[in-house]
Structure 1
Amino acid sequence: MSAAPLPRMAAVLGLAGLLPQIAAVLATFSEADRFIGLAAGYFYAALILSFLGGLWWGVAASRKEAPEWLYVAAVAPSLIAFASGIPWMNGTTWPGPSLVLLGIALLLSILVDRALFQLGLIDKNLLGLRLILSPGLGALTLLLATR
């Protein structure tokens, strides 16, 4: 796949996508806002993880040469995000373990993006952005887990 330049708007908005998680981390430094920061950061990480699954589903559905495993990979983020909320739903330990699960899933998501690049299903410019966003959001989410 040829590497068409990533539209400037895509790059700017992609990078701006780290701002909500940065704000969530900063909110945890105030005892009054700590829970709000944790909850907001949890929901944002779960939302973006699910968004990644949608991105991968779109790649799989739009490219006949996409491998079948990509559909499984595309569904997994939403299932992981849902499962990470179960402790909150039933009143057990939350949000630390849930944030760890989401943070690790976000960090590992880059493996799918790398595979898509190697298969020629995404170009190097999109991979370059993904190499910033997934580790960045994953690390911020893991940082939240320590707060």
Structure 2
Amino acid sequence: MTPIPRPALLLGLAGLIPFLWGALTVVLPGLAEWGTEVLGPRFVGPYVQLFYGAIILAFMSGVLWGFAAQGSGWQGYALSVLPALWAFFMTGGGADRAAAALIVGFLGLLALDRHYWKRGLAPQWWMRLRVLLTLVVVNALAVDLIF
């Protein structure tokens, strides 16, 4: 098995910070108050998670586009834009609805990751990284729905 390259792993883990921070500020009101004072209200609770989550889905569409560019044809390109379109159209309507939509979006993204990986368009280590990151993201977003 090819190991996950250190830069990809470290940057992927660092990309979890806004999701984890948002979940912590949902669960710990004192931390949310501190974060609101220091960072502003957009950077605590579900607000940071939802805004960042939509950005990450759009970013991942670009990653999938790169996989499609290796020769998967129209289908590969069309599938690659789905996460960005999902984020654009489905994340309105309040925090709970947006969090649920992002959870579905990230699970759908994982299925697309697997699609490209199975076709040899993503690196061998790709799914190990994506499963790890997706598990954390989905659980962090689920905090919004539980609390």
Partner of residue 24, structure 2:
26
As a proportion of its length, which structure holds more helix? Answer: 2
Asked whether the 8 Å contact 2:91–2:101 carries over to 1, the reply is no
Alignment of 1:16 onto 2:14: yes
Q: 1:54 & 1:68 partners in 2: Cα distance?
A: 15
Segments of 5+ residues of structure 2 without an aligned counterpart are none
Segments of 5+ residues of structure 1 without an aligned counterpart are 88-93
Please tell me the root mean square deviation across aligned C-alpha atoms, in Å: 2.1
Alignment of 1:46 onto 2:54: yes
Percent identity of equivalent pairs: 28
Q: 1:69 & 1:122 partners in 2: Cα distance?
A: 16
Superimposed CA distance per residue, residues 3-30 of structure 1 (whole angstroms, 9 cap, x where no aligned partner): 7654211111111211211100111121
Following TM superposition, by how much is the alpha carbon of 1:67 offset from its aligned partner in structure 2, in angstroms?
A: 4.2
The total of aligned residue pairs comes to 137
Asked whether the 8 Å contact 1:53–1:78 carries over to 2, the reply is yes
Partner of residue 139, structure 1:
139
Q: How high is the TM-score relative to the length of structure 1?
A: 0.82
Q: How high is the TM-score relative to the length of structure 2?
A: 0.82
Alignment of 1:82 onto 2:88: yes
